[in-house]
Chains A and B, each alone.
Chain A
């Protein structure tokens, strides 16, 4: 029975998933000491904002434009949705700055960096289609201005910003699906590779033995030796 189960695709997928992300790595109960800095909270703040965006947007899509324009509670949820988007970009930009200046693609984390960058790029049209789906004068102004940009870029025949139906479909289904999928991939890759550590002080100053504050791999509890040819490379990153 067990040999039959091992040949099945479900068993192979399970073994591969557990091998890449064992439970203690997927849901750790401790974090590396270097994460005791405010700069490390902006990723999770972006994630929380995304959860609020999806929740408030789901309610708005269920109730419709008449509700969000002409009722008090509709105005409230419309504002929650809009301000959570503003905060999403606010936190995501600071997260991007922080990760850029600590070169977060080090140690085999190239896919972590790329998925984060792609999530940011996809989130921009997701927000734009939301602004043109408001069904008010603001959305008319934005759509007639933005259509010129689309036409100038040569993609105006594919994305008609004055077409509410097309923009609304992009905004409530296609683009959110893409953002959530790529954000989920980003988080799983972060858990797989570990949080990127800061640059080692020794590498900045040339002082020998100043490595103690920064483990090399980002794996909780793991310490790097004093000097390595590639101090930021995590051997486990290349195991699969």
Chain B
């Protein structure tokens, strides 16, 4: 049932740029990891502001 959301009956799509060859699914995962990494640095941690004001 869930598999019907994505049509998997075809060869995997790949990103091919010069020497770089990678499946689209792997590229998506790496991009999401980069986004989460940046957000983890930039997004304030809950309670951090309270600690700063308490100093």
Q: Which residues of A contact B (CB under 8 A)?
A: 33, 36-39, 41-42, 90, 93-94, 97-98
Contacts and interface: CB of A to CB of B under 8 A. Distances in A.
A95 B29 CA distance: 15
Contact of A36 (B29, B33, B40, B48): B48
B41 A37 contact: yes
B41 A39 contact: yes
B4 to A, nearest CB: 16
9 A-B pairs closest in CB distance: A38-B40, A36-B48, A39-B40, A36-B45, A94-B37, A37-B45, A97-B37, A39-B41, A38-B45
Contacts of A39: 37, 40-41
A90 B37 CA distance: 10
A37 B37 contact: no
Interface residues of B, number: 13
B40 A94 contact: yes
A42 B40 contact: yes
Given A36-B48, A90-B32, 20 more contacts: A33-B51, A36-B45, A36-B47, A36-B51, A37-B41, A37-B48, A38-B40, A38-B41, A38-B43, A38-B45, A39-B40, A39-B41, A41-B40, A42-B40, A90-B29, A93-B33, A94-B33, A94-B37, A94-B40, A98-B37
Main secondary structure of the interface of A (DSSP, over half): helix
A90 B47 CA distance: 26
B24 to A, nearest CB: 16
Interface in B12-55: 29, 32-33, 36-37, 39-41, 43, 45, 47-48, 51
A31 B47 CA distance: 13
Nearest to B29: A90
Contacts of A36: 45, 47-48, 51
Contacts of A38: 39-41, 43, 45
A149 B32 CA distance: 28
Contacts of B40: 37-39, 41-42, 94, 98
A98 B33 CA distance: 12
Nearest to B48: A36
Nearest to B41: A39
A103 to B, nearest CB: 15
Contacts of B39: 38
Nearest to A37: B45
Contacts of B51: 33, 36
27 contacts: A33-B51, A36-B45, A36-B48, A36-B51, A37-B40, A37-B41, A37-B45, A37-B48, A38-B39, A38-B40, A38-B41, A38-B43, A38-B45, A39-B37, A39-B41, A41-B40, A42-B40, A90-B29, A90-B32, A90-B33, A93-B33, A94-B33, A94-B36, A94-B37, A97-B37, A98-B37, A98-B40
